[in-house]
Structure 1
Amino acid sequence: MHRIANDAGRLDLERRLESVRQSPAEIVFVSSADTELSALARIWGPEFGNRLRLMNAASLQHPEAAEHYADHVLFNARIAIFRLHGGKAYFPKLLEELLHIKSHGATVRTLVLAGTDEWDPELATYSDYAEPLARTIFDYFREGGITNYEHAAKAMGALLENQTGPFPEVEKNPTFGWYSASTINNQVHCNGRVWITFYRAWQQTGDLAVVDELASELNRLGLEVSNFFAYSLREPEAQEALLERAETEPPDVILTMQSFSIGRMDERISFLESLGCPVLQVIASSESRDAWIKNPRGLNPSNVAISVALPETDGRVLSTVVGFKEFSKIHRELEFQAKAMVPDREQIRHVAELSKNWAELRKTSNSEKRVAIIFANYPNRDSRIGNGV
């Protein structure tokens, strides 16, 4: 099923063609989230075995990869579930191919769901099931957690038997909270208090090696550490929880591993900056360490956009990358290789030292501080020194 080779994105490095090798199976689950795929490999894998295939949606953004996967895997599936972050605009070719194979005899039944916590009516038009059923499945993944993933597995088993319910009730899980790492000992500290904020998805799936390592290193340097997970720091309830903690245990430094900007155009400063201490942006890359080392620019364009450029609009201080996505386990029956965040200990030590220095600077009286002002001279003429570009 070949198409005219004029598809957008062929030269886009973010949509590079990758080899996609999977054989067909009854159930196919495509997701934008490595954490979700890894969790399903652990929970759905024993239930469905070689009847299940898992695939990261990013691998299907290239037009040729989307076409190949649709023709060779999706065409032969009985059920295909998609959890797509970014909506139709990020996966136009994949969704086009889905319609194409159906028009050429594929009997696969689909559930196309948003990869965020908001229902996407545009994506829902690609689903073959009634909206109430699709929303139930969507809620399982939006809430996350082992119980909901098990409920979703039971629902898939029922759908394979052409049963459309009733399905177990969705278990509600908190969208934010404080996480206590087992490696932390806050009984002995003297150098300051550090908060780490990170994504709820890591807490849900136990992908916490980077958070634990960073917290442990900070603790080793005599810093008290508190870890806060949230789906989004824009949630008023999450902000209230942080403000409540700040009343009794105010931070000296905040390290946030959450990307994007949380400020609004009508705000002079964003929420984290309103807490009155330095806020450092700590990057967890979506690529491997090897890719980071080999890239002359370090991070790829999407990581730069969401983890450097946008956070800077909030006034955050950029630190460096402390973790990378690496292959962690091969699930041969599923023909899937799971990924997990892996800490970079050298980089973590650097960020921990940096945090300690910021905490000490915050407690230093102004009379003892030495201030340096650096002027830009871009374009590079002396007459341009201090020029705003």
Structure 2
Amino acid sequence: MADASTRIALLSTSDTDLLSARASGAGYAWANPSRTTDPDLATTIAGADLVVVRLLGSRHDLWPGLDAVRAAGTPLVILGGEQQPSAELMELSTVPIGVAAQAHHYLAEGGPANLAQLHAFLSDTVLLTGEGFEPPAAIAAWGFAERPAPADHTRPRVGILYYRAHEASGNNGFAHALADAIDGTGQASGVPIFAGSLRSAPDELYAALGTLDALIVTVLAAGGSVPATAAAGGDDEAWDVERMASLDIPVLQGLCLTSSRAAWEASDEGATPLDAASQIAIPEFDGRIITAPFSFKEIDADGLPRYVADPERCARVARIAVNHARLRRTPNAEKKLALVLSAYPTKHARIGNAVGLDTPVSAIRLLRRLRADGYDLGDTNQVTAILEQAASSGDDTAAGDALIHALIAAGGQDEEWLTAAQLTDAHVRITRDDYLRWTADLPAELTGAMTDKWGEAPGNLFVNDDGEIVLATLRAGNVV
């Protein structure tokens, strides 16, 4: 057990280091220099026998107050925040390089036990307390987290992938909360899995992920080997997601926001620019399906953040993932799909509008691919007739035009041309009762604003004489 009378200040930009230091029971003072003021950092290191700095960044990002630590002769260990040691930062330490390298090993493995032994190691080798220490204990690079009960393997299995550092520090409740929500659907089993990174993950991890029916990912994108080299105008071919794609399962992004739930709820934007980039925009390059925020960073009484899951948001993400997992086990011929084209502004000329893209031709080729892959488009209908005409003529452009004109004839969204007959004969109709049932769990503030703007449901826009909301659609078997 580390001697608590020896005071070591740990300044780390990794909150999991700080959580592990607290849980270790050793004599640590701690702070995250990325969000702590200079006076508070000075208070943290005051009276410390030794200072350890672990920084995700370069030497230029170091706290200037470390100059005073060095001048005072207090032993200083400076380390990088990645799994691999940073020679640039390590050489700034005042302890022997071998001591700094071993200190990095303790932190790279992580967890309360290793942080306790780090304290003992530095106390013994630098401060000469003679208390003894154990070498760093290896923590598995990846693994299945323990669950209260074994998963029901008769159901689809949905993985929740989160960082190994969260597992080591005990900050893994958010992943288990999402697994509980998946189990709670009664239609799938949640499988929490921890790992260091997808960029350098071992083949064994990918083999294990391939046994799942769907995967919710909370870690950074897998495509770039080095995050700093991923940039617009760079080498597009350097973004490689071949292993991710080879899983052949739906991969969803579960958002663990770096803001509190209160800040998220009060914000008009929802996600901060950092979260929007790292958890929404960049993961799309991996081909991930973006879901919703389900976990938030809350600060506790000691000033340390933990990931705290929100039950309602967990249920939302769980439903999305379970539906994808169940869909994967559904034969193509039984799947029901909707191909939705934009129509804004609501004029016939704007159906399928997309700048620089040929939406009608894309729709024809997508429908052709669906048919080839076994999806049920029916035998004889307007859509199959258009596809067969295109097959004989080889003219996808004409087929795309025919598809758009067929949608217009079905009603379109242009009020100036919409007829009572089109409203009456529409294939898809939504009754008032169905609409109210579908929107029953929306916030009253939102539904109230909609009622104030548009009147009581179903309103009077695109509504037939029976009070049903109608959609301009073409029906082709199981595809709308």
TM-score (norm 2): 0.63
Cα distance in 2 between the residues matched to 1:34 and 1:268:
29
Cα distance in 1 between the residues matched to 2:240 and 2:336:
27
Cα distance in 2 between the residues matched to 1:245 and 1:384:
37
Cα distance in 1 between the residues matched to 2:261 and 2:196:
25
Q: Residue 53 of structure 1 aligns to a residue in which SS?
A: strand
Residue 240 in structure 1 maps to residue 207 in structure 2 = no
Name the counterpart of 1:118.
84
Name the counterpart of 2:152.
187
Cα distance in 1 between the residues matched to 2:323 and 2:315:
12
Q: Could you say what the CA RMSD is over the residues aligned between the two structures, in angstroms?
A: 3.0
Q: Deviations over 1:342-375 (max 9, x none)?
A: 1111100001111122123323343442232445
Name the counterpart of 2:293.
321
1:230 alignment partner, one of 177, 192, 195:
195
Name the counterpart of 2:15.
34
TM-score (norm 1): 0.77
1:297 alignment partner, one of 228, 251, 269:
269
Cα distance in 1 between the residues matched to 2:159 and 2:58:
32
What is the deviation of 1:87? 3.1
Paired amino acid for 2:355: N
Q: Residue 85 of structure 2 aligns to a residue in which SS?
A: coil
Higher strand proportion (structure 1 or 2): 1
Name the counterpart of 2:220.
259
Between 1:272-281 and 1:128-137, the stretch displaced more is 272-281
What 5-or-longer segments of structure 1 have no aligned partner? 1-24, 331-335
Q: Deviations over 1:274-330 (max 9, x none)?
A: 2111110001122211121222211222222221121111110110111112134x3
CA contact (8 A) 1:223 1:356 kept: yes
1:137 alignment partner, one of 67, 80, 103:
103
Paired amino acid for 2:336: K
Q: Residue 139 of structure 1 aligns to a residue in which SS?
A: helix
Q: Relative to structure 1, is the Cα distance of residues 70 and 359 closer, same or farther in structure 2, using a 3 angstrom cutoff?
A: closer
2:57 alignment partner, one of 71, 78, 86:
86
Cα distance in 2 between the residues matched to 1:115 and 1:165:
28
1:387 alignment partner, one of 344, 355, 367:
355
Q: Relative to structure 1, is the Cα distance of residues 132 and 342 closer, same or farther in structure 2, using a 3 angstrom cutoff?
A: same
Q: Relative to structure 1, is the Cα distance of residues 113 and 85 closer, same or farther in structure 2, using a 3 angstrom cutoff?
A: same
Q: Relative to structure 1, is the Cα distance of residues 357 and 236 closer, same or farther in structure 2, using a 3 angstrom cutoff?
A: closer
Q: Which has the higher contact order (CA 8 A, sep 6+)?
A: 1
Between 1:268-277 and 1:338-347, the stretch displaced more is 268-277
What 5-or-longer segments of structure 2 have no aligned partner? 1-5, 226-236, 358-480
Q: Residue 57 of structure 1 aligns to a residue in which SS?
A: coil
Cα distance in 1 between the residues matched to 2:204 and 2:294:
28
Between 1:305-314 and 1:159-168, the stretch displaced more is 159-168
Cα distance in 2 between the residues matched to 1:349 and 1:276:
25
What is the deviation of 1:41? 1.0
Residue 97 in structure 1 maps to residue 65 in structure 2 = yes
Cα distance in 1 between the residues matched to 2:153 and 2:90:
53
Q: Residue 82 of structure 2 aligns to a residue in which SS?
A: coil
What is the deviation of 1:75? 6.0
What is the deviation of 1:162? 4.3
Q: How many residues in Structure 1 have an aligned counterpart in Structure 2? A: 337
Residue 360 in structure 1 maps to residue 337 in structure 2 = no
Name the counterpart of 1:18.
none
What is the deviation of 1:240? 2.4
Cα distance in 1 between the residues matched to 2:58 and 2:353:
44
Cα distance in 1 between the residues matched to 2:209 and 2:106:
30
What is the deviation of 1:263? 4.9
Paired amino acid for 2:324: W
What is the deviation of 1:387? 1.5
Q: Deviations over 1:174-231 (max 9, x none)?
A: 111111221x4423754x2211111101111221211111111111222023222111
1:53 alignment partner, one of 13, 29, 32:
29
CA contact (8 A) 2:23 2:112 kept: no
Q: Relative to structure 1, is the Cα distance of residues 326 and 152 closer, same or farther in structure 2, using a 3 angstrom cutoff?
A: same
Cα distance in 2 between the residues matched to 1:297 and 1:261:
26
Cα distance in 2 between the residues matched to 1:313 and 1:375:
23
Paired amino acid for 1:291: A
Cα distance in 2 between the residues matched to 1:208 and 1:38:
12
Name the counterpart of 1:43.
24
What is the deviation of 1:163? 6.0
Paired amino acid for 1:115: G
Cα distance in 1 between the residues matched to 2:74 and 2:14:
23
Cα distance in 1 between the residues matched to 2:152 and 2:243:
29
Cα distance in 1 between the residues matched to 2:332 and 2:192:
30
Residue 212 in structure 1 maps to residue 180 in structure 2 = no
Residue 349 in structure 1 maps to residue 315 in structure 2 = yes
